[in-house]
Amino acid sequence: MTRGFTRWAAPTGLFIGLLAAWEAFIVVTNQPGYVVPHLTTIAGIMIARADILVPATWVTLQEVVAGFVLGVAAGLALAVAIAHSKVVGRAVYPIVITSQAIPVIAIAPVLVIWFGFGMLPKVLVAALICFFPVVINTTAGLLSVEREMIDLMHSLLASRWATFWKVSLPTAMPYVFVGLKNAAVISAIGAIVGEWVGAERGLGPLMIAANASFQTALVFAAITYLAAIAVVLFLLVTLAERIVIPWYFLTRRRDMHSVH
């Protein structure tokens, strides 16, 4: 009980401190509401304008989830190919790394030209952002398997896929979930970038319209809704991690106790 309280006390205290600093900044500098709105104003807008915020959030949520699923699927598949083929690794891995030098916001307009103003370009942008952390972390995990374990499986005449399912994949799962959690957090960025470039519905167009009319509180309300999407997706991935690899947390907890 005490350990759980200590674990959450620090981030909760910091969050409350940041909110207090926000309000103090407004009071000390006497900022007008259209520049820096009060937190109570933002909270009121989140409720009062739910009629437009909730439908917009639903559109963006669909783009985020679809992009996350697509990016994760592609990242996992390519990571397995890279880890199991030196030819693929040498050919593809440098391209994957180099691709991150291209800003996603520079690709988004091209995708809009190719696929129109519908949901598909936003899904693809979100997928591109999710793809990199998944493929990098999964590849690292698959390549981290101890050679002795591979040799043991070979001595037992295990097939290549049996070795993958029983040794490589379980070893890589903690790395995989690191990539999944990173992707969950940043997936919303991809969707919103795609909406900013060209969309008629979603939180992106809503934020652009609100910003143009100096409705700053509405902009922050939309940002809060967007952040909620990312946080909920992150928590769902974390829950899945606890369910899929409970042994990892038991082992880590035992190691921590042995250190202390």
Task: Quote the tokens at residue 31.
Answer: 């900022």
> Under DSSP, is residue 33 helix (H, G, I), strand (E, B) or coil?
coil
Structure confidence at residue 10 (pLDDT)? 76
Task: Quote the tokens at residue 46.
Answer: 């989140």
pTM: 0.86
Locus of tokens 């409720």:
47
Backbone angles phi, psi at 214, to 5 degrees: 60, 30
Q: Among residues of the chain, what percentage have pLDDT more than 70?
A: 91
d(CA 11, CA 231): 15
pLDDT digits (tens, 9 = 90+) for 196-209: 887 788 899 999 99
d(CA 83, CA 50): 47
d(CA 247, CA 252): 8
Confidence check: pLDDT of 1 > 60: no
pLDDT mean over 3-16: 74
d(CA 251, CA 79): 26
Query: Position 25: which residue type?
Result: F
Task: Quote the tokens at residue 41.
Answer: 């104003």
Cβ partners under 8 Å of residue 235, min gap 6:
none
Confidence check: pLDDT of 85 > 90: no
Could you tell me the pLDDT band of residue 112, with boundaries at 50, 70 and 90?
Answer: confident
